[in-house]
Amino acid sequence: MSKPDDRSDNARKLQEAKSNTLDNLNETNDYLDEHADEISATETSQLKRKNARRRQAVEGFEEEIADETEFAEEE
């Protein structure tokens, strides 16, 4: 027999992941602000692309959090 789907803490876990991603994004921005003249153009470009992916991930987390919150309210 399979276990029932327990989604009771999914929104909390997603919120933590979103928060961690935002922290990483902000730390990278701070790093770029402080060290832009010390790092290569390649590294700068890589970090900016990584932050773009982080912004997309945050949007995805927000959608999933809304879905999970809606699911929890239906129960």
Is residue 35 included in any domain, yes or no? Answer: yes
| pLDDT digits 0-9 by tens, 8-58 | 889 999 999 999 999 999 999 999 999 999 999 999 999 999 999 999 999
Q: Give yes or no for residue 4 having a pLDDT over 70.
A: yes
Distance CA 52, CA 25 (A): 9
Distance CA 51, CA 64 (A): 20
**Domain containing 43: what range?**
10-74
Is residue 21 included in any domain, yes or no? Answer: yes
Is residue 2 included in any domain, yes or no? Answer: no
Q: For residue 73, what pLDDT band results from cuts at 50, 70 and 90?
A: confident
- Terminal alpha carbon distance of the chain: 22
8: its two tokens: 């009771």
Ramachandran assignment for 34, one of left (phi > 0), alpha (psi -120 to 50 degrees), beta (any other) = alpha
